[in-house]
Chain A
Amino acid sequence: GAGVSQSPSNKVTEKGKDVELRCDPISGHTALYWYRQRLGQGLEFLIYFQGNSAPDKSGLPSDRFSAERTGESVSTLTIQRTQQEDSAVYLCASSLIAATGETQYFGPGTRLLVL
């Protein structure tokens, strides 16, 4: 596609429910990144994929968070038993390769609100 797309755009859920966020990277981009952005804050790294493997998942806040990528394309970020502190914008980015300083192209994000 022309750019990184994410779905849903907005998600409102109740505390304790599971949510799945989807990211479609730019076609041909082998690297994919997930970030979290709390209101008025910068971006917080969660995990990145090179192909379908996740060499660095150090930013995942707890074992309630998991992510997978299939076909070196679509990725899903799953949050189990959501908590109110999970409320944030979840941003996905992709780059041609996973290399230091490589340009990352961001999607519009999924706004998650946990009530």
Chain B
Amino acid sequence: TQLLEQSPQFLSIQEGENLTVYCNSSSVFSSLQWYRQEPGEGPVLLVTVVTGGEVKKLKRLTFQFGDARKDSSLHITAAQPGDTGLYLCAGASQGAQKLVFGQGTRLTINP
């Protein structure tokens, strides 16, 4: 069974601070996605990383896929209250259509 472990599960920081969320697995994924979910809504895709070592930036968010395609990180610079939400990583294996999700990181940015 493929598992994705996210850490930390909960993170509460002050506005303006930097943070990193980790997503780790013992399995290799052909691609890894990061989603953000607000209360009462479904997850919304932020980014897909495909190549080992790939780095993608989305404004203040930086996503990295590990060289071995087993892990990923999400780094937020100068966090804003609007960044508050549940961040989920999800992996896709070659030939499989389903996504394997981590348990999520609940991020709270305090003004």
Contact = CB atoms under 8 A, between A and B. Distances in A.
10 contacts: A31-B97, A40-B106, A43-B90, A43-B99, A56-B97, A91-B43, A100-B96, A103-B48, A107-B42, A108-B40
A100 B92 contact: yes
Range of interface residues on B (Cβ < 8 Å): 20 to 34
B62 interface: no
Interface string B63-106: 00000000000000000000000001010111111111111101
Nearest to B50: A101
Interface of chain B: mostly helix, strand, loop or mixed? loop
A104 B45 contact: yes
Given A31-B97, A43-B101, A56-B98, A108 B30 contact: no
Contacts of A4: 42
A93 B97 CA distance: 12
Interface string B1-14: 00010100000000
Contacts of B90: 42-43
Interface of A: 4, 31, 33, 35, 40-45, 48, 50, 55-56, 59, 91, 93, 98-109
A49 to B, nearest CB: 10
A48 B90 CA distance: 16
A67 to B, nearest CB: 14
B45 A44 contact: no
B98 A59 contact: yes
Contacts of A107: 42
Q: Which of A35, A55, A98, A99 has the most CB of B within 10 A?
A: A35
